[in-house]
Amino acid sequence: MKMTGSQILLECLKREGVEVVFGYPGGQILPTFDALYEYKGFKFILTRHEQGAAHAADGYARVTGKVGVCLATSGPGATNLVTGIANAFMDSIPMVAITGQVPTALIGNDAFQEADITGITRPITKHNYLVKDIKDLAGIVREAFYIAASGRPGPVLIDLPKDVQVAQTEFIWPPEPKLRSYNPSYNGHPGQIKRAAKLIMESKKPILYVGGGIITSGASAELMELAEKIGSPVTWTLMGIGGFPSLHKQSLGMLGMHGTAYANHSIMDADLIIALGARFDDRVTGRLDVFAPNAKVIHIDIDPSSISKNVKVHIPIVGDAKQVIAELISEIKQKPDIKDWLEHVEGLKKKYPMGYKDKNKILPQYVIQQIDEVTAGEAIICTEVGQHQMWAAQWYNYTMPRTFISSGGLGTMGFGFPAAIGAKLGSPEKIVFNIAGDGSIQMNIQELATCVENKINVKVAILNNGYLGMVRQWQELFYKRRYSYTPITSPDFVRLAESYGAVGIRVTKKDEVKGALQRAIETDNTVFIDFHVEEEENVYPMVPAGEAINNILGGLA
Amino acid sequence: MRHTISVLVENKFGVLARIAGLFSARGYNIASLAVSETLDPEVSYMTIVVEAKDEKVLEQINKQLNKLIDVITVTDFTKKEHIDRELVLAKVNYSSKDKAKLEAIFGKFVGKIIYHKADTAIVEAVGDQEQIKALLEELDKFGVKELIRTGKLAISN
Nearest to A305 among B67, B69, B70 (CB): B67
A130 touches chain B (CB under 8 A): yes
B70 touches chain A (CB under 8 A): yes
Q: Determine which helix (DSSP H) or strand (DSSP E) holds A478, and give its type and residue range.
A: helix A469-478
Q: Which helix (H) or strand (E) holds B34?
A: strand B30-37
pLDDT in tens, B65-118: 999 999 999 999 988 899 999 999 999 999 888 888 888 888 888 999 999 988
- Cβ within 8 Å, pair A123-B69: no
Active site (annotated) includes residue A33: no
Chain B residues near residue A303 by CB distance under 8 angstroms: 67
Neighbours of A287 (CB within 10 A): 16
* Residue B79: partners with Cβ closer than 8 Å, 6 or more residues away: none
| Domain A2-170, CATH homologous superfamily name and number | Thiamin diphosphate (ThDP)-binding fold, Pyr/PP domains (3.40.50.970)
Go through the domains of chain B in sequence order and give each one's CATH number: 2-80 (3.30.70.260), 83-156 (3.30.70.1150)
Which of B59, B69, B74 should be substituted to probe chain A, the one whose Cβ sees the most A Cβ atoms within 10 Å? B69
- Is the per-residue pLDDT at A410 higher than 60? yes
Contact: A303, B67; criterion CB under 8 Å: yes
Spatial distance between the Cα atoms of A271 and A266, rounded to a whole number of angstroms: 10
What are the tens digits of pLDDT across the range A432-488?
999 999 999 999 999 999 999 999 999 999 999 999 999 999 999 999 999 999 999
pLDDT band of residue A167 (cuts 50, 70, 90) is very high
Taking the CA of residue B16 as centre, how many other CA atoms within 13 Å lie in the half-sphere pointing to its CB?
Answer: 13
Active-site choice (A14, A113, A132, A228): A113
Is the minimum CB–CB distance between A147 and chain B shorter than 8 Å? yes
User: How far is it, in rounded angstroms, from Cα A119 to Cα A515?
Assistant: 51
For residue range A311-335, list pLDDT tens digits in order.
Answer: 999 999 999 999 999 999 999 999 9
Q: What is the mean pLDDT of chain A?
A: 97
Q: What mean pLDDT is predicted for residues A394-412?
A: 98
- Looking at A239, A257, A470, A542, which residue is catalytic? A470
The ipTM assigned to this model is 0.90
pLDDT-derived band at A557 (thresholds 50, 70, 90) equals very low
Give the number of other Cβ atoms within 10 Å of residue A185's Cβ. Answer: 12
Q: Which of A147, A181, A305 sits opposite B63 (nearest CB)?
A: A305
- Asked whether B121 and B112 are in contact (CB, 8 A), the reply is no
Residue of chain A with shortest Cα separation from B23: A123
CA dihedral A210, A215, A218, A222 (to 10 degrees): 20
Assign B54 to helix, strand or coil. Answer: coil
Reported as a single tens digit per residue, the pLDDT across A363-376 is 999 999 999 999 99
- Whether A308 and chain B come into contact, CB under 8 Å, resolves to yes
Is the CB of residue A21 less than 8 Å from the CB of residue A50?
Answer: no
DSSP code for A542: B
Answer yes or no: pTM beyond 0.90.
yes
Residue A50 falls in the annotated catalytic set: yes
Q: Select from B61, B67, B72 the residue whose CB has the most chain A CBs within 10 Å, as the one to mutate to test that interface.
A: B67
pLDDT at B53: 78
CA gap A250, A299 in Å, rounded: 20
In this complex, do B60 and A118 lie within 8 Å of one another by their Cβ atoms? Answer: no
Question: A169-195 pLDDT, tens per residue?
Answer: 999 999 999 999 999 999 999 999 999
Evaluate whether A2-170 and A190-351 have a shared fold. Answer: yes
DSSP A537: -
Over the stretch B134-155, which tens digit does the pLDDT of each residue have? 999 999 999 999 999 999 999 9
Residue A168 designated active-site: no
What tens digit of pLDDT does each residue of A104-119 get?
999 999 999 999 999 9
Mean local confidence (pLDDT), A288-310: 95
- Chain B residues lying within 8 Å of A119, measured CB to CB: 17
**Is A478 marked active-site?**
no
Give A555's pLDDT tier (boundaries 50, 70, 90).
Answer: low
CA A36 to each of CA A10, A33, A180, A208, A464: distance values in angstroms, whole numbers, following the listed order: 8, 5, 35, 48, 40
What's the gap between Cα A156 and its chain centre? 17
Using an 8 Å CB-CB cutoff, list chain B residues near A304.
63, 66-67
* pLDDT score of B61: 87
* Separation of alpha carbons A143 and A127, rounded Å: 10
At residue B27, the pLDDT reads 82
Q: What is the CATH number of domain A190-351?
A: 3.40.50.1220
List CB contacts (< 8 A) between A86 and chain B: none
Least confident of A67-81, A393-407, B66-80: B66-80
User: Rounded CA gap, A532 and A462, in Å?
Assistant: 8
H or E stretch covering B71: strand B71-76
Alpha carbon of A122: minimum distance to chain B alpha carbons (Å): 7
Q: What is the rounded end-to-end Cα distance, in angstroms, of chain A?
A: 73
**Nearest chain B Cα distance for residue A512, angstroms:** 51
B9 at the A interface (CB within 8 A)? yes
> CA angle, A83 as apex, A288 and A371 as ends, to 5°?
75
Q: Looking at CA atoms only, how far is residue B104 from chain A in angstroms?
A: 48
Q: Are B61 and B28 in contact (CB under 8 A)?
A: yes
Separation of alpha carbons A503 and A441, rounded Å: 15
Other residues' Cβ atoms within 10 Å of the Cβ of residue A340: 10
Q: Are strands B110-116 and B144-149 parallel, antiparallel or unpaired?
A: unpaired
Active site residue A112: yes
Query: Percent of chain A having pLDDT more than 90?
Result: 98
CATH homologous superfamily, domain A364-532 = Thiamin diphosphate (ThDP)-binding fold, Pyr/PP domains (3.40.50.970)
Q: What does the domain layout of chain A look like in residue ranges?
A: 2-170, 190-351, 364-532
